Amino acid sequence: MTCDPVLVHVCCAPCLCGPLASLLERDGQFTAYFHNPNVHPFIEFRRRLKACQVLADQARFPLVVDREYGLQRFLDAVGDRTTRPERCRICYALRLDDAARVAAEEGFPSFSSTLLVSHQQDRAAICDAGCAAGARHGVNFEAPDWRGTQEAGLREASRRQLYRQQYCGCIFSEYERYKNTNRHVYRQTAAHSG
């Protein structure tokens, strides 16, 4: 299938695994773009990046990587708006604006995002952010409904032995994911303080 070239913002390798087969059918007209200043801590950022690099090597597609660890940039953008859904809208806008800019700079007429794979993400907010970013940079935002590929993508990521994260990405989502996993608090008493 011949299609116009598209730059696909990649949030993580498991999400890319879902629509990967259809993207590869574009006859070399698909390039992945890893750009995630929201992913924290640094070791998590590196794990997700490595998984995307491994997938690109295995499936033989071009991958453009923004290696900048964007902790300060993300925190500055979010400010005191740390609760969902507001922080998520800011996060979508941050990443998709950069994806649209890179698409325009590299000559892609359109861009998309694997954020559109997850049932846990706000599809309407992603589409709003993508369309606004596309308008600012003069490129089209493609918004296929890839949510039906999520489970198959997770199975494929497992088959390929790719790292699969346990939370969305930001430090706030990490806290929400793990805050109730260990309710026991260790208290040292005077009797046990030796």
Cis bond upstream, residue 41 (ω within 30): yes
* Percent share of the chain, pLDDT over 90: 62
pLDDT at residue 39, as a whole number: 86
pLDDT band at 115 (very low <50, low <70, confident <90, very high): very high
CA atoms within 13 A of residue 74's CA, in its CB half-sphere: 23
Of all helices (H) and strands (E), which one includes residue 33? Answer: strand 30-34
**pLDDT tens digits, 127-160:** 999 999 999 999 999 999 999 989 999 999 989 9
From residue 53, how far is each of 33, 61, 86 by CA, in Å? 11, 10, 31
Q: Look at 43 and 166; give whichever has higher pLDDT.
A: 43
Domains of the chain listed by start with CATH number: 6-192 (3.40.50.620)
Please state, in angstroms and rounded to a whole number, the distance separating the CA atoms of residues 147 and 124.
13
Contact between 6 and 112 (Cβ < 8 Å) = yes
pLDDT at residue 4, as a whole number: 86
Quick one: average pLDDT of 22-30? 85
Residue 8 pLDDT > 80, yes or no? yes
